[in-house]
Amino acid sequence: MLVTLDPAWKDCGVEVPALTDPTGQLAAKYGIGERGASLVRPDGVVAWRSPDLVLDPAASVRQVLDVVLDR
């Protein structure tokens, strides 16, 4: 799952369930800022986080998924 406050991550075109957190509580728990994102595995382990928005969110998420899924 992709946890984020910023819709730019959610709309990155990568097939990952996204959770937008309007209260900021999850974002604070996952160590991301208002423009960051965190990729959380199904078992709840944080696989990756970005504290801020990057230039190409879709490429970043794809790259992380390739590493996490060993592709």
Q: What is the pLDDT of residues 38-65, one digit of tens each?
A: 888 889 898 999 999 999 988 998 898 8
Q: Which domain holds residue 6?
A: 2-68
> How does residue 18 score in pLDDT terms, banded at 50, 70 and 90?
low
Prediction pTM value: 0.75
**CA torsion through residues 28, 31, 36, 37, sign:** negative
The number of domains in the chain is 1
d(CA 53, CA 71): 24
**What pLDDT, on a 0 to 100 scale, did the predictor assign at position 50?**
93
CATH number of the domain that 64 lies in? 3.40.30.120
The answer to whether 58 touches 12, Cβ cutoff 8 Å, is yes
> Average per-residue pLDDT in the chain?
83
**What pLDDT, on a 0 to 100 scale, did the predictor assign at position 10?**
74
